Structures are given as C-alpha cells and as structure tokens.
Amino acid sequence: MTPNPDPTDASPAPEKNDFIRQIVREDLAGGKHAAVRTRFPPEPNGYLHIGHAKSICLNFGIGREFGGRVNLRFDDTNPAKEDPEYVEAIKEDVRWLGFEWAELRHASDYFEVFYRGAIKLIEQGKAYVCDLSAEQVREYRGTLTEPGRDSPFRSRSVEENLDLFRRMRAGEFADGSRTLRAKIDMASGNINLRDPAIYRVKKVAHQNTGDAWPIYPMYDYAHCLSDALEGITHSLCTLEFEDHRPLYDWFVDNVDLAGDPALYQPLVDAGFTVPAGKPRQIEFSRLNINFTVMSKRKLLALVQDGLVAGWDDPRMPTLQGLRRRGTPAAALRLFSDRVGISKQNSLIDYSVLEGCIREVMDAAAPRRLAVINPVKLVITNLSDDHAETLRFSNHPKDPGFGERDVPFSSTLWIEREDFMEVPPKGFHRLVPGGEVRLRGVGIVRCQEVVKDGDEITELRCTLDLQSRPGMEGADRKIKGTIHWVSAAHAVAAEVRLYDRLFNVPDPDRDEDGKTYRDHLNPDSVRVVQAWVEPSAAGLAAESGVQFERLGFFTADRRDHGPGRPVFNRTVTLRDTWARK
C-alpha cells in the first residue's frame, strides 16, 4: 500500500530565486513580454544524461512557475548522427521527469524557412557560396591572436551566389564541395563571426524529412532562427554558447523573421503557430559531477566496446540508466534545485546526488525484509513445522503506508555478516553464546555453530519466548537487532549491487598514460542470489523499496517479474565513499 496524502496539507514550495528567474520576473513586470516561452532543444544524436536533466528542469520549471509555454524541439540538423531511437528516448525521458511540452517541434519543420532566409542573406550581399575545403577554411580562419583571411570566393556576385546555392539545393554538387557562408568579418576577435558556414552539401537521408534535402543548415544558423520562429522569450543555454550569442543575434537581426512574414508563410499554410520574435539568450553553468563522464563520445564508446551493458546500464549517467537503476524522477528534480543556477562552472560531488536519492526514497519507499548474503539460523526450541504470521509496518515514519503480513518459521536466513566467531571490538550482533534481537520476533542466543570445513553453514539458536512482542520480557535491553527472512517462505531473487562506474573523482583527466577506461571501477556491479519476503517479490517493476539495513533498491524495469524478481541497488543507506 502507498500513502494517499491530502494535497491540501502540503506546504507551498518556496519561491526559487536565481538570476535567470529574476530576469524573467523583471521582464514580465516591465511589460517586455506578455507571457514566457522557453524550450528544451536537444539534438537527437544520443541519449540524454544527467546534465540534460538540469536544463530540462530549468526550462520546464520556468514555464510551469510563470504560467508560460515550453516547447520540446529537436535540433535535428545533422542527419548522419541522428536516429528515431534517440527521439523516442528523449520524449520518454522528459515525461518521466514529470514534464509535458506545449508543442513538439523539429528544426527540420523549418527547413524551407531556413532556405528562404539564406536566399535573403545572399540577396542582401551578406552570404556567399565558398569552394574552399574544410581544411582550407580552417587555414583561412586565423587564430585567437591573428585575423583571418578573406576567402577567394568572398567577392562572388549576388547573381552567381544565388545560382550556385540553388544548384546546391538541387543536388548538383558532391558532399563537402561547397558551403554557403555568412559574410560578416574575417578580422573579428570572435572567431565565430569569421564568415561561419550556414549550409553544407550532405546527401544523407534525414530521420524526419527523408531525401527531400541534399543540403542542411548548420546548427548555429538553425538554432537561433528556430527560437525566433517559436517566439521564445528566454533562450536558455550553457556557458559554452556565450561566444556564439553575437552570431545568433546577427542571424536573427539580418534574416528578420518577425519583420518578414513571407519567409515563414509555408509554416502558417501548414497549420503552425508562428509567434515570431527575437529571443534573449541567457547562459548558465552546465552540470559537472565527479566520478563520471558525460561526453557523448565517451559514453558511446563505453556502449560500443561492451564496457557497459547498454545506454540504460544502471551505472551510466544517462537518464535511461539512472531510471533503470531506480533513481526517482523527484530526486533528479531535487538535485537540480540543490545544485542551483549560476554563471560559474563548478564540480558537484556525486554524494549530493546520492543524498537527494536517499531523501526522496526514504520518504516514498516502503520497507521490506531481504537477505543478500545468507546463512541459515535454526531456532531449536520451536518445532520444525512452526509457522506464524507477524504484522510489520510498511514505513516506520508514515502510518499512511499501512501494515503487512510477514511469515515467520523456525528456520530463517540472516545476513552472514551479522554473525562473527571472533568479533571485533564494538560488534553488537550475533556471536557464539551471545544474544541478539531478531527484528519483530524476540531475542535469540547462539548455542551452536555448524560448519562444513571452514564455512559456516548453520547457526543453532534458542528463542527467549518471554522476549516476544507483548510478553513481559519484550523490553529486555539488548544492543543488537538484526533482520531475517523465513527460509520456508522466502523467494529467491537476483540482486544487482551497483556502485559508481569510476573509482576516481576525475576520470576525464588523462595523465600517466591513462584514460577514463583505466579508471573503471571493477566493483561497480556484483550480482548475487538473495532471499526476499514474499511481498517484496510481488512488487511491480520500477517499484522502489528499502530492504531494511541494506539500502534502497528498485525492481528492475525490464527483467523483474512475479516469477523472477530482480532488484537493483539504487543507493546505499549511507555514503560509503566518504571514507575512501
């Protein structure tokens, strides 16, 4: 059973107040915008990772807080690296995080508009067709300390450029043979303004438009014009795009969609709403977290080289991986709030994420009993066929979770580490001749240890019947309490004990001839057969649970089922890396 709290009892969430939200408030109060429009604009060339969660929560969060509209837009301008698989996974991830978009858009929806905009720039003498190779373009571009040189094709006439560009559109030229470039300033201190490419020839089928286009717009050109077409008021992006902002402004100002509705008439005819305007770009720091890598190239290599089990491997920082491990969406939203929004790059410790997961799961996860490294415990003063049903609370802090029946018998499984023949100082669990409290049962004393060679196979104990709940000795003081499952009723389960994928804080740091591959944690996953109480085996896939004293676990979303329970350790009960 899960609680059904009265929503009227919930306290209002505190108002968030970062520099971006302050800008939005000022813009609305000053009448600059009647309503807020934001967007989340992923490229469908890979799976989203935890860094994207921050952007999702920011864009959709602002839309939700200020009553605005948020689009999900795929910036799909590079068909060679895009795949419908990524598109569907991204939509699933956004919804899983708890958000819904006002409109689903694609940059490819606007390809005809981009083409018309490019024609307009050529007609204004602000764009030209260049025959330099990619290597020659780099050579001509100059450096941070030296200005670039004009392309020998920069002086082509408007008529020649229009003819060549239309022939590019018709598919007459080979891939990479020509580009359309903006004519801005080859001596600019901002290299992005040194006649950047607008279009390139690429005869590759597109996942959304098929073979309709043999040329494709460059990301920098398409991205800002997409924002303008959608009437985005606040274009939020990470700090590495700050140097691109002057270029985005140049494209938006010179194409001037808002002042030239004829450019986007095909969209209107197709039924699109086009509230064209000029977006304001605001940059914020990206999410950097230690003990992981978030480069798409490196994540792809981990998958392709079989170093992980796939994009949704529970050790991966992808949203699909985090979800499969059992990370609650609410924990990622909380994490995004905790790390905050700023202009300064910083490195967040992995323990902050784990702390958010614990906080959410502690409140939301019911408790169950499980033993992952079992040793048999036999209670000798109960009959061999003894069986009874005990009542356990589903959550010690929330009566709304109710109670459940837990079967009990004279033969139990306990954790092997809860018994020691030669205990260290401070060990308060079971020892030869010692006593410990069995959770919800009473106090047992270990009378005999049965071995097969050096391996302990069975502990034979007696139960103090007067220490059972409701009896006069139930309050007898004893230092240790351990958990158990009934051997006669427990269900075998596969338990996957996940840990951090890397064993150093900065696996991206290449030194001493080592790369991130050399820092993979060999203990990042261990699979064991465990025993769980029957009600745990019956949990639905993706259900979170605290196995008492062991950690927070989640029923695997793909492999778990009533006949074959599979649980992933989502997070330990406490930070086990602090002492490392």
The string of DSSP letters for 172-226 reads -S-TTS-EEEE-S-TT-SSGGGSS-EEEEE----BTTTBTS-SEEE-HHHHHHHH
Residue 16 is predicted with a pLDDT of: 86
Q: Give the residue among 233, 240, 222 at the shortest CA–CA distance from 109.
A: 222
User: What structural domains does the chain harbor?
Assistant: 112-217 (3.90.800.10), 289-364 (1.10.1160.10), 370-483 (2.40.240.10)
For tokens 């981009």, the residue is 114
Q: What percent of the chain has pLDDT over 70?
A: 97
Are 442 and 474 contacting, i.e. CB atoms less than 8 angstroms apart?
yes
529-549 tens-digit pLDDT? 999 999 999 999 999 999 999
Give the mean pLDDT of 198-223: 97
Please tell me what DSSP assigns to residue 516: G
Judging by DSSP bridges, how do beta strands 280-284 and 367-368 pair with one another?
A: unpaired
Residue 2 is predicted with a pLDDT of: 42
3-state DSSP assignment of residue 522: coil
Residue 169 has pLDDT above 90, yes or no: yes
Give the mean pLDDT of 248-253: 98
Structure tokens at 351: 């323990």
Give the mean pLDDT of 499-521: 91
Residue 3 is predicted with a pLDDT of: 43
Give the mean pLDDT of 113-121: 98
141-161 tens-digit pLDDT? 999 999 999 999 999 999 999
Residue 6 is predicted with a pLDDT of: 41
For tokens 């596969």, the residue is 494
Residue 5 is predicted with a pLDDT of: 41
Are 119 and 230 contacting, i.e. CB atoms less than 8 angstroms apart?
no
Residue 336 is predicted with a pLDDT of: 96
Residue 95 is predicted with a pLDDT of: 98
Residue 580 is predicted with a pLDDT of: 59
What average pLDDT is seen over the chain? 95
Query: How many CA atoms lie less than 13 Å away from 467 in the CB half-sphere?
Result: 18
Residue 511 is predicted with a pLDDT of: 79
Q: What percent of the chain has pLDDT over 90?
A: 93
Q: Which helix (H) or strand (E) holds 52?
A: helix 50-65
Give the predicted TM-score (pTM) of the model.
Answer: 0.93
The residue type of 192 is: N
Give the mean pLDDT of 260-269: 96
Task: List residues forming the annotated binding site for ATP.
Answer: 43-45, 49-55, 238, 286-287, 294-296
366-384 tens-digit pLDDT? 999 999 999 999 999 999 9
Residues with a catalytic annotation lie at: 43, 286, 296
Number of Cβ atoms within 10 Å of the Cβ of 108: 23
Which residues lie below 8 Å from residue 390, measured CB to CB, with a gap of 6+?
405, 406, 407, 408, 440, 441
Q: Which helix (H) or strand (E) holds 463?
A: strand 455-464
Task: List residues forming the annotated binding site for L-glutamine.
Answer: 75, 219
pLDDT tier, 512 (very low <50, low <70, confident <90, very high otherwise): confident
Give the mean pLDDT of 230-257: 97
pLDDT tier, 394 (very low <50, low <70, confident <90, very high otherwise): very high
Lowest-confidence region among 4-13, 277-286, 464-473, 561-570: 4-13
20-60 tens-digit pLDDT? 999 999 999 999 999 999 999 999 999 999 999 999 999 99
Give the mean pLDDT of 63-67: 96
Are 243 and 188 contacting, i.e. CB atoms less than 8 angstroms apart?
no
Give the mean pLDDT of 251-262: 97
Residue 4 has pLDDT above 90, yes or no: no
Number of Cβ atoms within 10 Å of the Cβ of 328: 24
Rounded CA separation 46/85 (Å): 9
Phi, psi for residue 498 in degrees, rounded to 5 = -90, 150
424-458 tens-digit pLDDT? 999 999 999 999 999 999 999 999 999 999 999 99
